């Protein structure tokens, strides 16, 4: 019966993804750090902003288009970088990029994507804009330079530089599932989970090879399997990075620079001073420090402080086109979405992501229609009726 159902919302896609992915993969995708409070808060907080309905306004010409990082978009939304997305569907990042191109929204490729820069760029339909590229600071600055060069060559012009990962967070589900363990017991646990999802094994694990980090292939010496890649990446986290490294980065990258992973007004000001074109207000989807604020909570203050100087994007817990509308009303220029597109990808491949994006665009349009706003740029606090005290205005 449930197989017959038609997924309508992000949560529906999530339910279907859960049925298709081996448990440790689903948990890797779905989970957050610690007790997953920030993860839950992210989702819940958007709902604290109540919309203000207006009637009898001429809304026959509502337009959801906008520009993000200088690029025309059908709606103010980009797909967030998600590591290992290519484990969720066969050559997953390539499928997602095609869906994003079709829907006219930017796609961001993670440093640790399965498909590499070249594979993803090659997947883009003719004339489609190139993906954005996400990078972490690596201890090996030479590798950083090489990756920037590789991205530029592939055509990328927007760099999403993630700053909230001096160390990886405590993802407790990965510990529980044995994903973070070595040894026979953990292997047995993983194997039993794989056996329960033969469809995935056949479709993704076997026919979707190779499962390594595509963009890092030239950096990881002798890297053949995923474990070698992971070991390399783990050794590359660099907790000594400071704003001076951003200055250095600025000299290395000619394109647009978005700093991703800020939650504090002071840090946002520093980003503006460092010459970034934009920031992504983000807590890494609740995957880093559990216990920090929901992004919706801190967005208004940050947007007020630096919204005039740089492009303020936000991610975390956006689960519908209506949430997207709320983010704009609270001051964002656009949103990134992480888990939702990967759920849709895991459950429905490229077509799934397209359906999701189409539904959200329709929801955004509806929210504009019923609040009486016809252009994205006009969405603001006037379209909110009440903002609970949790969101600091």
Ligand X SMILES: Cc1cc2nc3c(=O)[nH]c(=O)nc-3n(C[C@H](O)[C@H](O)[C@H](O)COP(=O)(O)O)c2cc1C
Contacts to ligand X by CB under 6 A: 28-29, 42, 80-83, 110-112, 134, 162, 260, 282, 284-285, 287, 315-318, 336-339
240 binds its own copies (CB under 8 A): yes
Is 339 annotated in some ligand binding site? Answer: yes
Say if residue 316 carries a ligand binding annotation.
yes
Out of 371, 373, 376, 387, which residue is the one contacting its own copies (CB under 8 A)?
A: 371
**Residue 181 falls in the annotated catalytic set:** no
| Two structure tokens written together for 238 | 């660099």
Is there a binding annotation on residue 61? no
> Which residue stretches of 155-255 are H helix?
172-176, 184-195, 198-200, 226-236, 243-252
Instruction: Say whether residue 53 binds its own copies (CB under 8 A).
Output: yes
Rounded CA-CA distance 155/159 in Å is 11
The option from its own copies, ligand X, none interacting with 184 (CB < 5 to 8 A, set by class) reads none
Sign of CA dihedral 158, 294, 168, 201: negative
CB of 113 to ligand X, least distance (A): 8
65 phi/psi in degrees, rounded to 5: -75, 155
Dihedrals φ, ψ of 220, to 5°?
A: -85, 110
358 is an interface residue for its own copies by CB under 8 A: no
- Residue 322, annotated as binding a ligand: no
Please pick, among 90, 98, 256, 284, the residue that the annotation labels catalytic.
284
Using the rule CB under 8 A, which residue among 29, 216, 293, 328 binds its own copies?
A: 293
Could you give the dihedral angle defined by the CA atoms of residues 66, 71, 76 and 78, in that order, rounded to the nearest 10 degrees?
170
Nearer to its own copies, 7 or 86 (CB): 7
Q: Which is nearer to ligand X, 50 or 185 (CB)?
A: 50
- Is residue 82 marked as binding? yes
> Based on C-alpha coordinates, what's the Rg of the chain?
20
- Which 295-314 residues touch its own copies, going by CB under 8 A? 297-298
How far apart CA 102 and CA 137 sit, in angstroms, is: 31
Supply angle C-alpha 197, 198, 204, rounded to 5. Answer: 90
Q: Which helix (H) or strand (E) segment is 100 a member of?
A: helix 92-103
Measured over the CA atoms of residue 4, residue 5, residue 6 and residue 9, the dihedral's sign is negative
Minimum Å gap between C-beta 59 and its own copies is 5
Annotated ligand binding at 136? The verdict is yes
Q: Which does 66 bind (CB under 5 to 8 A by kind): ligand X, its own copies, none?
A: none
Residue matched to tokens 């056996």: 195
The least CB distance from residue 54 to ligand X, in Å, is 17
Q: Which is nearer to its own copies, 94 or 335 (CB)?
A: 335
**CA 118, CA 49: separation in Å to the nearest integer?**
41
Minimal distance in Å, beta carbon 165 to ligand X? 7
Burial of 247 (0-12, 13-18, 19+ CB in 10 A): exposed
Q: Is residue 27 within the footprint of its own copies (CB under 8 A)?
A: no
The catalytic site residues sit at 284
Q: Which residues are annotated as a binding site for glyoxylate?
A: 28, 136, 171, 260, 284, 287
Q: Which residues are annotated as a binding site for FMN?
A: 81-83, 110, 134, 162, 282, 315-319, 338-339
């Amino acid at each position: 019966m449930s197989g017959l159902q038609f997924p309508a919302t992000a949560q529906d896609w999530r339910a279907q993804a859960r049925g298709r992915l081996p448990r440790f993969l689903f948990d890797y995708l779905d989970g957050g750090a610690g007790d997953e409070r920030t993860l839950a808060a992210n989702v819940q907080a958007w709902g604290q902003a109540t919309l203000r309905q207006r009637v009898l306004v001429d809304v026959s010409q509502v337009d959801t288009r906008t520009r993000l990082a200088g690029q025309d978009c059908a709606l103010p939304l980009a797909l967030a970088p998600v590591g290992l997305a290519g484990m969720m569907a066969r050559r997953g990042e390539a499928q997602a990029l095609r869906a994003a191109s079709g829907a006219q929204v930017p796609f961001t490729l993670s440093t640790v994507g399965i498909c590499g820069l070249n594979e993803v760029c090659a997947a883009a339909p003719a004339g489609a804009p190139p993906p954005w590229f996400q990078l972490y600071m690596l201890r090996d600055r030479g590798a950083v330079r090489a990756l920037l060069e590789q991205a530029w060559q592939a055509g990328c012009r927007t760099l999403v530089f993630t700053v909230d990962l001096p160390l990886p967070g405590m993802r407790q589900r990965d510990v529980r599932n044995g994903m973070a363990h070595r040894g026979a017991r953990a292997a047995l646990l993983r194997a039993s989970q794989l056996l329960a999802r033969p469809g995935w094994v056949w479709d993704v694990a076997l026919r979707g090879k190779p499962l390594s980090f595509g963009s890092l292939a030239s950096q990881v010496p002798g890297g053949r399997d995923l474990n070698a890649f992971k070991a390399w990446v783990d050794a590359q986290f660099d907790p000594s990075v400071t704003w001076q490294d951003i200055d250095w980065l600025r000299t290395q990258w000619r394109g647009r620079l978005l700093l991703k992973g800020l939650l504090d007004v002071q840090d946002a000001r520093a980003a503006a001073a460092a010459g970034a074109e934009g920031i992504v207000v983000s807590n890494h989807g609740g995957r880093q420090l559990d216990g920090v604020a929901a992004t919706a909570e801190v967005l208004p203050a940050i947007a007020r402080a630096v919204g005039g100087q740089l492009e303020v994007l936000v991610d975390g817990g956006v689960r519908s086109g209506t949430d997207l509308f709320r983010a704009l009303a609270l001051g964002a220029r656009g949103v990134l979405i992480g888990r939702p597109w990967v759920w849709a990808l895991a459950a429905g491949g490229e077509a799934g992501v397209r359906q999701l994006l189409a539904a959200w665009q329709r929801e955004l349009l509806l929210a504009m229609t019923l609040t009486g706003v016809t252009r994205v740029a006009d969405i603001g606090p006037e379209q909110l009726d009440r903002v609970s005290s949790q969101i600091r205005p």
